[in-house]
Structure 1
């Protein structure tokens, strides 16, 4: 006769959950309550009122659910927060010296974490539901969930002055996932803030996106500009972007707490060799089909070819390498106005004025897009950045 299924509860269910989570590759598992961050609605409202979210309208949509887990799902009694290490093998700041190569944020040098974590969270949530006879909902970054404040409340770490979650064990390199559950677990204690008087993350930001400790102005953040922002990037930020073609790790990589971090295990989220420092010349030649093939299964694919090429051309313009100018010239007639506009800017930065004037006479007269025409007009007065420039 079939034995009845044993239903676990309390500490026994919690122990079983943690054991399964670690088998699935999660490095940290902690629990908090849905009301553990009482000031979150006011903090989020103030951030949105300052327009610090830029064009991320989804941050404003369903803000009530984002600020309060119980509004998103009234049945939630506990929030299980999980962290997975994605520590890079080398210092991301070293990539910034390789001007002929593109610097990609460490999290994007590997499989799309949304897919990796979502699959593992679904498996873990199903296990929790079956073992405890409870309801669950799993989230990875795409739902109205404030993962970082909840993770800090659960004790995975604390939000540093750059607003990113910091861990004493893993530094700045944790990917976060959440399980909302109807199970009533004993919550863990929150982690204290260990930033002290350090302000390295604030001082290193190339574009001044951290105007004060614990405040991020996404409109100035290179990660936002190169990933979320849809149109041309404002000229005031282009030189500061350098060769960062997807995201920015500066404020993470400079943090002293990384001395305790370790590289991610091969079985979890190993980086792809072709994404560690790809040549800008190769990337500038990507058409839509080649882009989709090259970046299949990575976060980069979700941004799209045109925005990515925009970033690559800005990096080429910042390279001080005239041999890369061909990448800009080849994109002056690209079907995308966004790409054409950045190709104009890059060419103007690298070519001598006489050669650029010939280009302008040949191309600008046939251009119909207002943004691209504005780039041609502005570029005529731009001083080229010579390879010998410092």
Structure 2
């Protein structure tokens, strides 16, 4: 069946008509495999739709982006779209240039999605609530001051509020440069002077450091499947972040060297980390269970979803250790493993995390380690001690077991000279 596709001028005329109907949002939706555009007003009222006759979502999204950007409009939504398109061009240039084969391109793409989320979820709602229809109003001292006050009330966490404000100022400075530096004045700079200290450095969630007996309970727990077990073992034992272990492939594991490659490390770099025998045994068993997905280029585990997995972390930390809080994800396990091994032997914490441990320096340089024999020995020995009793199933039994003095692991009794 032949499907008529509108021309560029027809699509632009349709969007101009939608703008006259106060349309501010443009979405790409699928209807029986054919993508179309739907326009909505600020109050979520449907203004109209246009069939593109396309079966490729990426092409349909490009049409939507071009319509939203080509309109001569100084509204905050239009300028945000223009800014995100500018950042997208930078990401494409990075992925097609000399950084194409590195994880830096993926890191820039992730950064773009973060900036888009900050602007769409915080700046644009503020503009709609204040009835700001022109981007120039954001350069007024009283408006930008009110935006800072709003972030303090709505996002009281230092890191989050500071990041949102930094992304907003980056967009405002970009627009000011594109117009010949006519909006940012000395008064504007004075009004935002010292804005980082306004938010402070308070953390929303308290950091969790698990004790040795709590780590023992995690290692002995009967998980419902191997994927959830890996979500706990890889951060705790191998020191991997969530975004690092979801990208692991079978080819990244090096059993003979006792290490694994981390191609998507934080900051767009790559590194190596430990791969003790306890993890080798576990992943070998996982591989033998499968009939497919065992090729070198296949992901070790698929079907990851960050929001769902965060709920899984919270649920099982509550079941196993009766711990509540928002710091119950992979970073809490990663930090606890580092804390445990640093008390066992000085210097191993750097290898556990993959970078130097320093509280006074915010920049963390990745360490190019190849030999993980000492840290692999620690985890193999610690795991062997942890699983000596029979595996305990059930939350209450695990908590009772962890409170018994005879079952508490004393990491100082681990002797590197003993076999």
Query: Same fold per TM (> 0.5)?
Result: no
TM-score of the two chains, using structure 1 as the length reference: 0.25
The alignment's TM-score, normalised by the length of structure 2, stands at 0.24
Asked which structure has the greater RCO (Cα within 8 Å, sep 6+), the reply is: 1
Q: Which has the larger radius of gyration?
A: 2
